[in-house]
Amino acid sequence: MKKIIVLASGSGSNAENIIKFFKDSVNVKVSYLLSNNPDAYALKRAESLGISTKVFSREGFYNNGEVLEFLLGCQPDLIVLAGFLWLVPQDIVKAFPHRIVNIHPALLPKYGGKGMYGSKVHEAVLSNGEKESGITIHYVNEHYDEGSTLFQATCRIEPTDDIHTLVAKIHALEHAHFPKVIQQLLV
């Protein structure tokens, strides 16, 4: 049985989608959802689907090794960042080479890097008059949004699109593709 640990900071719609995708799998299971935000709705989504959760602090993530020790103890086959906003520290990246993946709501390398997340990405895409946007699923390294690209999917931006319609298009791409890419990585 392959084990996934999901890290999320916010609402958790991608985390929920991943959990549901693998719920009846005999080969893959989501074993934990971890969050740096004790108020993240992702925690409630995971708990309602029977997934164990853990909240951690900045200290535990960056300084005292608590999160690294927990992850090593769980021995996940894949760590999935699903709306997780902190930069993953080098010790965790090194402990899980090519086993941490992230989804970004734009076509990297455009609109990536520190501070480029959520609506900030979509606002930048729209204000620059882009004709398309999309998602990038990539390996995580010690820099924001710079790991090797695994998959991209695009959507057209129509002249009538605003932030709400673009967000809906991006969420549809995320929900359609992220679990399938994860599954391919684990076979």
Q: What are the catalytic residues?
A: 104
Whose tokens are 């990585």? That residue is 185
Work out the burial of residue 86: count CB atoms within 10 Å of its CB; fewer than 13 is exposed, 13-18 middle, 19 or more buried. Answer: middle
DSSP state of 128: T
Say if CB 133 and CB 154 are below 8 A apart.
yes
Whose tokens are 């929920």? That residue is 16
Say if CB 86 and CB 10 are below 8 A apart.
no
DSSP state of 12: -
Whose tokens are 């995971």? That residue is 46
Query: Rounded CA gap, 96 and 84, in Å?
Result: 17
